[in-house]
Amino acid sequence: MKRLIEKGLMFGNLIEVSSPALVDRYRRALRHLTGKDTALTDFHIDISGYSPEIGMELDDPLYLNPNGVNRQFILLTTEQKRAPLLNAKFSFSRQVLREFIEQNESKLFALTTRDAVAGELQNSVLMANTPARLMDIRRIVTEADTTGGDVANARELTAKIERFKTEEDAWWDDVLIAEMIGLAKETGDVTRNPVDLEMTTTEVPNYWTAHFGGLYVWRDVEHPAVIASGAVPEIGGVEAFSMSARNRVAAFLDLNHLVEPIVKARGTDASAILRQKMDFIVVDAAASTGQSLQGATRRDLRMIARGLGADLPEAYLGLADLVRWIDGGGDWPKIDSKHPAYFYTLRGGAHMYRDLVNQMLAELAPLDVRQLFICHKELFYGLYKGWEDGKRGFVADFLDEEYQVDKAGTRAALFGPEPGMTPPGPPQEDPEPQARPPRRRNPQRMVELVGPWGAVKRGR
């Protein structure tokens, strides 16, 4: 993992904490939340305030995430909103934290100039001891305060000010006035400079969780289901099946209008994207046979592919057939959900659950290491440890040289513009369809005639 850390591909964009004042604030917040302490004088934190160095010191990677369910957080600066979330147990946690910081940014900026802000992502589940308990996670409430209780004191002062203004004879209540003066010394003038933090509530209808080997919980779709990376759980009232049941997964994605074929996506260079996926498949095949990948270029990978010949994976051959068709030199390939290339040909549609769909597709097509790194870092790091050293080196160099230089541009090219809050649904027809030549080579027309692939069987 050292190679990834050196290139900023692991623990990248963390916030450095090295000044004595910030370290002291962090320690106070840590004791306030957990009762634990650290002897470190410099370390790094993620968006939630989790530090991998302190996690190692305490021998507890979940010291801010008890039971892996209710994530606690420590904010020292609003700049944490740009940091990643390490050891994520739920796909929604980072987005919820970022939204909380952005909605309260000016107040948090003022509060963190003198103290740390500590809080928790609260839900009704304290322990996920059974898969069925995960179905109760529907709403996340984010609440926070400084370790000195500035927000609570400000709320109390505000209430007392209201009493002072409205209650009869409050002008002569010496106790009330003394309490107001005492609180004002702690909070300042809350009438001019409010320090209250807005408590946010976030609905989480669909999500991924690392619990129980990895589960994708889909509730807010036309055909709900729980899809398991490991053992299939028993959850009453909801259909559950394994990620390895490729036909059922494909039917689920199709019936709920969650995916679109890359060849049909507008403004996308489908041929270039699929060729890159083919290169990643060759890299895996070459590494497994002990071939050197040091400094390998695309030309080198083509030579390796020719050398492998009949030993090329079926996924590579399927994508090659599709690229030939896109370029106008081959017949329409028959790629159904049983074909190893099938999930490599899809991406999440332009809807509010796009990122979760792309995370699931990354798990279904793990040889596409670029999408795996972007969409499912937890799985990427886990698989990386088991790769041959040649593949680890190639992938680290590729991500450093090809992805790190333009992250936003790469994501837009692969997955399209950032989706809005549109729910998934059947694709909309163009209001004024453009005339298309009746030639077989037009990929858009052919896809519209046969559907995404015309090969997903909807039965079990």
Low-confidence ranges of the chain (pLDDT < 70): 149-162, 164-165, 168-173, 176-177, 179-180, 183-196, 427-460
pTM given for the model: 0.84
Backbone angles phi, psi at 114, to 5 degrees: -130, -10
pLDDT tens track for 336-388: 999 999 999 999 999 999 999 999 999 999 999 999 999 999 999 999 999 99
Write out pLDDT tens, residues 436-453. 333 444 444 433 333 344
Quote the pLDDT of residue 110. 80
The three-state secondary structure class of 211 is helix
CA dist 427 and 228 (Å) reads 27
pLDDT recorded at residue 221: 94
Task: Please give the mean pLDDT across all residues of the chain.
Answer: 85
Predicted confidence at residue 383, as pLDDT, reads 96
What pLDDT sits at residue 16? 95
User: Per-domain residue ranges for the chain?
Assistant: 2-149+195-204, 245-450
Q: How far apart are CA 148 and CA 112, in angstroms?
A: 11
pLDDT at 146: 81
Supply the pLDDT for residue 439: 40
Contact between 301 and 279 under an 8 Å Cβ cutoff? The reply is: yes
| Residue 9 vs residues 14, 341, 370: alpha-carbon distances, Å | 11, 27, 12
The DSSP H or E segment spanning 286 is helix 270-288
pLDDT at 443: 41
Query: What's residue 437's pLDDT?
Result: 34
Give one DSSP letter per residue of 130-162, joined into a string.
SHHHHTT--EEEEEEEETT-HHHHHHHHHHHHH
